[in-house]
Chain A
């Protein structure tokens, strides 16, 4: 069973999503954060799946990830030196959406906090998977790159579709999408994780890599 939780929710990250930047919140808000973590942990049932594929790099930033081919400068940079990729998908499950939906009818202040907590929670869940996968691949002398998702930089969002299909996400983990390419359940992640033979630590995470420098949520803003 996937339950119970082996993540630690990064409170600073939650506050950043709420617009606090690096500042601390007052006691009432911090209490709301803790309460939201408890309530969410009670109901969520996170699931993840992945598949390893060979990677071929072509000219003009074309990448063949086996399940689909894509032209993307940013992804090419992220995957430089990799010969394989992991297609990874994870979701907190629909219960998180249901709870946030219900709370937003009762108290919007709690709903925004819970929304931020859920966002941090899916990240923490993905991180715990990334650690687990890193362990598996380290034994084979391989190293993982940071997650890179459709919608980051010039990696188009439309790749959600082949992504979900290749991993059979609706059946395996209950992850679907709308006609407009929004993931449902909303607290879900799809990501490409490069596998390389060198321990290349200098790669940054998605946020710093993003070109939208004026973003309100940017980690260093």
Chain B
């Protein structure tokens, strides 16, 4: 008998159809857990499996879609183990009774029903543990493969796939649920799904549920455009339609099978059904498809990295990788890493995104910090607010693995090189988690001086990667830009290397472009010229500073000149109409506005300018005491009186911050130090994921020169206590939105009072009142952000 491996992608395979919708017809009640029928209505489940096998299904799903420890709790009436084991046993019995020993039994795994952090409250590793438990039980009970299906979140899917891969050697099939907008609920498009799942080395990927075959067609087309592994399509019997009080799926078997026949012709390998489909659907489907010639899976030579929302393709158009999140030579970023100033790092990300970066390089290597911890933290924070794919840039293998594990997508990895030990350490990670890896053209003997030498190393890297099953398309060769100031021919060697990789190997390349001009004056002249030459010679990705006007001009001009910018529309978008902008409003803003006015009116853009003007007249500390703070106080008073409202209060705070930034820069240069007024911890308590109130308070406290330690949201009491003790913090501000999370606020207060009695606690949040705050032991209730500022002024 042929094995799964011998059949998948080599011949038609047919999956079974709906389970839950059929059980509903047979009397499953709203809210009743369908998997309990494995025990209470075993006959019905077994006979349904049999009907599917008799209809011609090659793969049947166990009735375990929702079987996880969240729904089957440890002390509940049904044990998870018995539910899964009975589910597999019923499928096996059906297989035996129908004599279909050729058929496969898939351990069916659906989503947990919870959202993962940062959007929800479930930790990635907790999701992993939930799936791990299911997979271990299923594997031991004798499942032939694992089907992870109906996932609407790539991150949860990643947790499930890793759990399957790390805890069994069963084949893994992963199918996701798309909406009519051709995206997952959490935002990913088909290309991003393919990038992630191929990276994780699943056996087959695809789409199920949500839509009927007609609506799926376009999405299937996109999956097939990118996928080099077999594609599975399990649609519903049409879109759900409401008939009276019932939801029905009413595409009949004939019609279903006819459209599925068309889908089969597109190059899909496995076909079946989901909600609303029945054994009759599968029977017709098989009949229509089985005699069609099977279309073998085609390898697509497409290089992609992805984020939770989209994929970036490498090799088609030049890709810009923003280099700003890298401490080398950047004093402020070093300081931000040392003080764990995540806001600064995120801002570097935002700015590069706005300037046009496609991917962001992330390097947090500093001798005095714990790089694995910091790398994971920064990746987690960046991917929570930015949807650009990230490039994990480190030589610390532990940091690399932690980042790859927590990354929500297929990352870019920087880097390997021709050294054997480096490849031995990095390639297994790339194979396991997926990624496009940068291969530096250097090895134990250093950097070859000739293009031929560099190509030899590239060949070595390609060959070694292949041993791990990593394809050439997932390697991007760094041809190495070396400064022309020490060797005037170095640029030509680099360019020749680029050209050879493109022409002789059809490979992709990358460069840290600005290295070329090291040691020369006006480096941007050289950089921009070299960048254009490099693109002309085949450069696929540039690691560069997207904030550099010269580089971006080079990029846009190149696209326009190289025929990559139809009707020059992108060029015109960026540079059209700039002349008139420069003349207009800039001049009118020259009319003098005082700093106080800027702050009171919330004029963020102009307060920096007003501050610079004042620096000529007063010293920075006097500006703070005589201008900034009094203006802020006036705004604060207006807010309390009800003449100024929250958005204005915050605009003023932002204007003040812009002024502070200018002053800070000036003081650093002149060596003046402004004393911080004291440390304050801010946190949204455990279980609470709404942090907007806390963030408002933070903005204002920082305005008043307090040193705010922002612990974020959903913060366990222990972490708050520990931070207060470690840094001897005298004031803690806690926020909670709901009665259900105020209990955790109370617990935090209790622990703080016990462990650090001299610390005061101020609380706020929607459900809190003066009395409520007192009852849970807080020292102060702040009804709004200004009240917190006043309390801080009174105790610190």
Contacts and interface: CB of A to CB of B under 8 A. Distances in A.
Contact of B654 (A20, A45, A52, A108): A108
A97 B116 CA distance: 13
Nearest to B186: A94
A25 B690 contact: no
Contacts of B347: 105-106
A3 interface: yes
Interface string B668-704: 0000000000000000000111111001100100000
Interface string A175-208: 0101111101110000000000000000000000
Given A182-B688, A184-B120, A45 B179 contact: yes
Contact of B650 (A109, A180, A181): A109
A105 B692 contact: no
A102 interface: yes
A176 B245 contact: no
B121 A178 contact: yes
A157 B651 CA distance: 35
Contacts of A59: none
Contacts of B648: 26, 28-29, 109
Contact of B695 (A28, A111, A113): A111
Interface string B218-249: 00000000000000000000000000010000
Contact of B121 (A98, A102, A179): A179
Contacts of A29: 645, 647-648
Interface of B is mostly: loop
Given A66-B30, A94-B119, A112 B696 contact: yes
Interface in B109-168: 110-111, 113-115, 118-121, 150, 152
A29 B602 CA distance: 10
Nearest to A185: B119
A149 interface: no
A179 B350 CA distance: 32
Contacts of B150: 171
B741 A184 contact: no
Contact of A112 (B346, B650, B688, B740): B650
B646 interface: yes
A101 interface: yes
B31 A51 contact: no
B176 interface: no
B360 to A, nearest CB: 14
A180 B119 contact: no
A18 interface: yes
A95 interface: yes
A122 interface: no
A109 B651 contact: yes
Nearest to B247: A51
Interface stretch (A5-13, A71-79, A162-170): A162-170
B695 A181 contact: no
Contacts of A67: 30-31
Contacts of B647: 18, 25, 29, 32, 109, 112-113
Contact of A157 (B186, B385, B645, B740): B740
Contacts, number: 142
B45 to A, nearest CB: 20
A107 B654 contact: yes
A115 B696 CA distance: 12
A3 B182 CA distance: 13
A187 to B, nearest CB: 11
A175 to B, nearest CB: 9
Contact of A179 (B30, B654, B687): B687
Interface string B719-740: 0000000000000000001111
B181 interface: yes
Contacts of B385: 98, 101-102, 105
A180 B687 contact: yes
A186 B31 contact: no
B344 to A, nearest CB: 11
B384 interface: yes
Interface in A88-120: 93-95, 97-98, 100-102, 104-109, 111-113, 115
A153 interface: no
A112 B692 contact: yes
Contact of A182 (B30, B110, B741): B741
Interface in A41-98: 45, 51-53, 66-68, 93-95, 97-98
A19 interface: yes
B31 to A, nearest CB: 5
Nearest to A45: B181
A176 B114 contact: yes
Nearest to B692: A115
Interface string B350-394: 100000000000000000000000000000000011100000000
Nearest to B742: A180
B185 interface: yes
Contact of B737 (A3, A95, A171, A182): A182
Interface in B67-125: 110-111, 113-115, 118-121
A1 interface: yes
A146 interface: no
A181 B384 contact: no
Contacts of B688: 180, 182
A97 B119 contact: yes
Interface in B451-493: none
B343 interface: yes
B718 to A, nearest CB: 17
Highest count of chain A CB atoms <10 Å: which of B113, B209, B647, B691: B647
Contacts of A18: 645-647
Contacts of A3: 181
Nearest to B181: A45
Interface in B167-214: 177, 179-181, 183, 185-187, 209
B343 A105 contact: yes
A105 B346 contact: yes
Contact of B690 (A111, A170, A182): A182
Interface string B621-653: 000000000000000000000000111101101
Highest count of chain A CB atoms <10 Å: which of B384, B385, B691, B699: B385
A162 B650 contact: no
A213 to B, nearest CB: 12
B738 A157 contact: yes
B210 to A, nearest CB: 9
B593 to A, nearest CB: 14
A185 B152 CA distance: 13
A42 to B, nearest CB: 13
B733 to A, nearest CB: 15
Contact of B30 (A20, A51, A186): A51
Nearest to A172: B240
Given A29-B648, A51-B245, A181 B738 contact: yes
Highest count of chain B CB atoms <10 Å: which of A102, A109, A115: A109
A170 B111 contact: yes
Nearest to A186: B690
Contacts of A109: 602, 647-648, 650-651, 653-654
B31 A166 contact: yes
Contact of B185 (A94, A100, A112, A113): A94
Contact of B692 (A19, A111, A165, A179): A111
A98 B115 contact: no
A107 B605 CA distance: 13
Interface in B375-425: 384-386
Given A105-B347, A176-B120, A184-B119, 11 more contacts: A18-B646, A45-B179, A68-B31, A94-B119, A111-B692, A112-B650, A157-B738, A179-B687, A180-B740, A181-B740, A182-B740
Interface of B: 30-31, 110-111, 113-115, 118-121, 150, 152, 177, 179-181, 183, 185-187, 209, 245, 343, 346-347, 350, 384-386, 602, 645-648, 650-651, 653-654, 687-692, 695-696, 699, 737-741, 744
11 contacts: A29-B648, A52-B245, A102-B386, A107-B654, A111-B695, A171-B110, A171-B209, A178-B689, A179-B121, A181-B738, A185-B115
